[in-house]
A and B are shown apart, each in its own frame.
Chain A
Amino acid sequence: DIQMTQSPSSLSASVGDRVTITCRASQSISTYLNWYQQKPGKAPKLLIYGASTLQSGVPSRFTGSGSGTDFTLTISSLQPEDFATYYCQQSYSTPLTFGQGTRLEIK
């Protein structure tokens, strides 16, 4: 199985801050990397696929980058609605695997 490791596990930030979340795969996955946002009691929401392609309707303050084993999700200017948990997920091979999540909290 491909292990996905996110860092940090939690992060405190303020509205307007720029934040970066990192995801590392245990082996190369090219750009088969997706990012999801999950709010409490809700289903995950797709933000970015193919490492860097923004899903339709997702604000442009979200950007993804990386290839191979190292990936990042950046939020350029945090908005109140961005406080949530973020998961990376590899779609390179089955079993599909997720990172453990990064909880983004308000400072």
Chain B
Amino acid sequence: QVQLQESGPGLVKPSQTLSLTCTVSGGSISSGDYYWSWVRQPPGKGLEWIGYIYRSGTSFYNPSLESRVIMSVDMSKNQFSLSLSSVTAADTAVYYCARRDGQLLVHGDWGQGTLVTVSS
């Protein structure tokens, strides 16, 4: 059973860059037809898809965030990462990493989520 775990700073200052890493265990990030996703959820609100990246490095981002998002994959560490620049208070959210099955088109496995607060 694959497991995902987010890590990164819980507090980021406005205008700075939010950086998170998702470590995958119980399976290789370089095998299978999977897309590695980031989804966020502001406190008390709904879910927003940020984007996903394939093992090849091909990525797809939500146009609403595309100008500020970069995702990457590090197969040697079995990790993938999210970078979100120029953050504001509106970026305060629980950030989840998830594995999207490329055949079933579902996010079947999720990390536990990590709260990132944007505040000075």
Q: Is the CB of A49 within 8 A of B47?
A: no
Q: Is the CB of A44 within 8 A of B108?
A: no
With known contacts A43-B96, A97-B49, A98-B49, A32–B111 Cβ distance under 8 A: no
With known contacts A43-B96, A43-B113, A98–B48 Cβ distance under 8 A: yes
- Residues of A35-63 contacting chain B, CB below 8 A: 36, 38, 42-46, 49-50, 55
Chain B nearest CB, measured from A65 CB (Å): 17
- Chain B residue contacts of A89, Cβ below 8 A: 47
A50 to B108 CA separation, bound complex (whole angstroms): 13
Which of B60, B62, B64, B106 sits near A49, CB closer than 8 Å? Answer: B106
Is A64 in contact with chain B by the CB < 8 A criterion?
Answer: no
Binary CB contact string for chain B from 105 to 116 against chain A (1 if under 8 A, 0 otherwise): 111101111000
A95 to B88 CA separation, bound complex (whole angstroms): 22
Q: Is the CB of B60 within 8 A of A94?
A: yes
Given contacts A36-B107, A91-B105, 17 further A-B pairs with CB under 8 A are A1-B63, A32-B105, A34-B105, A34-B106, A38-B47, A44-B39, A44-B96, A46-B107, A49-B106, A50-B104, A89-B47, A94-B62, A98-B48, A98-B49, A99-B46, A100-B46, A101-B46
The residues of B with any CB-CB pair to A shorter than 8 Å are: 39, 46-49, 60, 62-64, 96, 98, 104-108, 110-113
